Structure 1
Amino acid sequence: MMNFSYTRATTVGDAIEAVAGDPHARFIAGGTNLVDLMKYDVERPGRLVDITRLPLKDIEDTAEGGLKIGALVPNSDLAYDTRIERDYPLLASAILAGASAQLRNAATTGGNLLQRTRCYYFYDAGVPCNKREPGSGCPAKTGVNRIHAILGASDSCIATHPSDMCVALAALGATVHVEGPDGARTISFEDFHRLPGDSPEKDNTLAHGEMVTAVELPAPRFGKKHTYLKLRDRLSYAFALVSVAAAVELDGDVVGEARIALGGVAHKPWRVPEAEALLKGKLPSSSAFEEAADRLLKGAAGHGENDFKIELARRAVVRALFQAAAGTPQVQSSKIVN
């Protein structure tokens, strides 16, 4: 780990000014990802700006009937907030599916959005990686790629975004509040993370010096008809091979609206509104759910070791939609898939 300077910010404006004026500066809060990357010599910031004392730790009701979640709200506090448990149980379930209780206590809402890929090659400073050193190559394409992307990948990068929380936020249609040197703005969750393209070093659409200040949820919908299904190599301390956040709103016996987002398959949470629209007006059934899964996975391609993820994802989508429609969400502490 290289030497770095440390500053503790007392206001949002001071924090933004400190980072925006130094290309080698980074914000730090819980540090559950950044500190690891620094230890592995992957991230080499010359200056850390501590934002843990900023007033961004509240969950507030919005005029539109939703919730505004401060960027420094710990993951555990968010998952167990009574309003989240009651009105957004899909989000609570996704958070509890991720990491350990100790990490959830330290990790923040904003930091969860900004965590970087767990690609083996990205974490190994001794091998090439386009995400770490643009233009150096992507050995994952022909190497060990069991956990890698099957959707939205490029010749430059086949890494995946590791978050569980973000998959649920994508399905719920959240909005990200940001402040930076040029003022405040909001970003739809769909547009916050980006696909690798020719610039895999850029995980999201933030400019240097911009800071996530809050995540806003729209007014609650879907009631209890939801599920977060996470398929992984072991029940705890493992990132998703494939995960599905699904929510269904029934209109009588047929689907009135559905939301589906995939994790573990792309550089960002994967959502295709056209796949959701295919379910509208249809009875919950294998044929309807399989059609939606096929549309969601259109263009999926493996790279050898991860070819199995295409069929795994297809089956997971169908299973998750059945769980959601029946109002029988996956229990995160259970080894048995409903």
Structure 2
Amino acid sequence: MRPFSYSRAEDIDTAVNEVTAHEDARFIAGGTNLLDLMKIDVIHPQHLVDITHIAHDTIENTEDGGLRLGALVTNADTAYHPEVEKRYPLLAHAILAGASPQLRNKATDGGNLLQRTRCYYFYDKTTACNKREPGSGCAAIDGYNRLHAIFGASEHCIATHPSDMCVALAALDARVQVTGPDGSRTIPFEDFHRLPGDTPEKDTNLREDEIITSVDLPPKGFADHYTYIKNRDRASYAFALVSVAATLEIEDNVIKDARIALGGVAHKPWRNKEAESLLIDKPADRDGFQAVAAAIVKEAKSFRYNEFKIELARRSIVRALMEASQTYQ
């Protein structure tokens, strides 16, 4: 690990000022991904701003009837919070499908949104990676790409986003609250993460001098009809090959609202709202679920070793919707 300087902020304004004042500075909270990348010299910030003493570590109700997750609340505390378990069980289930208990006890909600890809080539400095070194190429395209994207990839990057929590947040239409030198702003969750395009080194639309203060959940939590499915190589502590967060609002067996978000398949949690709309005002049955699954995977593009993901995604979507349609009925 390379040398770096360190400072501790007691409030948001100080944190923003500190990260702005230092060249190549990063915020650090749980550090569960940042420190790993520093140890293997994939990233090497010159200055770290400790934000663990900032008072954004609570979960509170919002004026519109939703729930605000402070950026410094741990993943474990979020998953086991009574209001999350009761009103947003999809989120609780997704968080508990990720990482390990030890990591969930340390990792923060804000940090979860900012974790980097687990692409083998991003972690291996002896290989070409446009995300790690822009312009160097993407070794994964012609390499061992079993874990890689089938949606939204580009000629510059086919890496996938690793988070389980973010897949659920995408399905719930969460909003990310951020603060920077120019004040505060709200980023809809669907706009927070980026597709690789020509700039795969940029994972999100968060500016370098901005800090996440909270993640806001809308009033509708789909607590009656939801499921989170995670297909992986082993039962725990593994990243998704394909995951699906599915939610339904059903009245008299007719679907009134539907959300389907996929993980492990793109550079960001993947949603196809046009395909989701095929379910609205339709019966909650397998025929309709198979039709929407076919519509979602229609645009998928595989590489040499990950063609199986397309069929796995299709089957997983159908299974998730079937389970969601029966949840707590």
TM-score, normalised via structure 1 length: 0.96
SS at 1:323's partner residue? helix
Supply the distance in 2 between the matched residues of 1:120 and 1:221 (Cα, whole angstroms).
Answer: 35
Q: Secondary structure at the match of 1:300?
A: coil
- The equivalent residue for 1:134 is 134
Secondary structure of the residue aligned to 1:35 is helix
- Residue 52 of structure 1 corresponds to 52
Q: Which blocks of at least 5 consecutive residues in structure 1 are unaligned?
A: 330-338
Task: Report the counterpart of residue 5 of structure 2 in structure 1.
Answer: 5
Cα offset, 1:227, TM superposition:
0.2
- Which SS does the other structure have where 1:187 is aligned? strand
Post-superposition Cα deviations, 1:34-75, rounded to whole Å, max 9, x if no partner, equal 000001110100001000000010111011100111000000
Deviation digits for residues 206-228 of structure 1 (CA, Å, limit 9, x no counterpart): 11110100000000342221000
Corresponding residue SS for 2:140: helix
Task: Quote the Cα distance in structure 2 between the aligned partners of 1:14 and 1:297.
Answer: 46
Letter in 1 for 2:254: V
Q: How does 1:181-192 map to 2 (within 5 A)?
A: 181-192=181-192
The 5-angstrom pairing of residues 171-190 of structure 1 reads: 171-190=171-190
- Which residue of the partner structure matches residue 336 of structure 1? none
SS at match of 2:84: helix
Query: Equivalent residue for 1:62?
Result: 62
Contact 1:227 1:328 survives alignment (8 Å): no
Q: In structure 1, what is the equivalent of residue 287 of structure 2?
A: 287
| Alignment correspondent of 2:124 | 124
CA RMSD of aligned residues (A): 1.1
Q: Which amino acid aligns with 2:160?
A: T
Partner of 2:313: 313
Helix, strand or coil at the partner of 2:267: coil
Structure 2 residue aligned with 1:207? 207
TM-score, normalised by the number of residues in structure 2: 0.98
Report the counterpart of residue 300 of structure 1 in structure 2.
300
User: Cα offset for 1:295?
Assistant: 1.9
State yes or no: 1:254 paired with 2:251. Answer: no
* Structure 1 residue matching 2:312: 3-state secondary structure: helix
Q: Is the 8 Å Cα contact of residues 23 and 208 (structure 1) preserved in structure 2?
A: no
Provide the residue aligned with 1:76 in structure 2: 76
C-alpha separation in 2, matches of 1:106 and 1:34: 12
> Which one-letter code corresponds to 2:215 in the other structure?
V
Percent of residue pairs bearing the same amino acid type: 61
Q: CA deviation at 1:328?
A: 6.3
Which residues of 2 match residues 231-270 of structure 1 at below 5 A? 231-270=231-270
Give 1:286 shift. 2.2
Q: How many residues align?
A: 329
Shift of 1:125: 1.3
AA of the residue aligned to 1:206: L
Q: Deviations over 1:16-45 (max 9, x none)?
A: 111122231000000000000001110100
Unaligned runs of 5+ in 2: none
Partner Cα distance (1:13, 1:205) in 2: 20
Partner of 2:220: 220
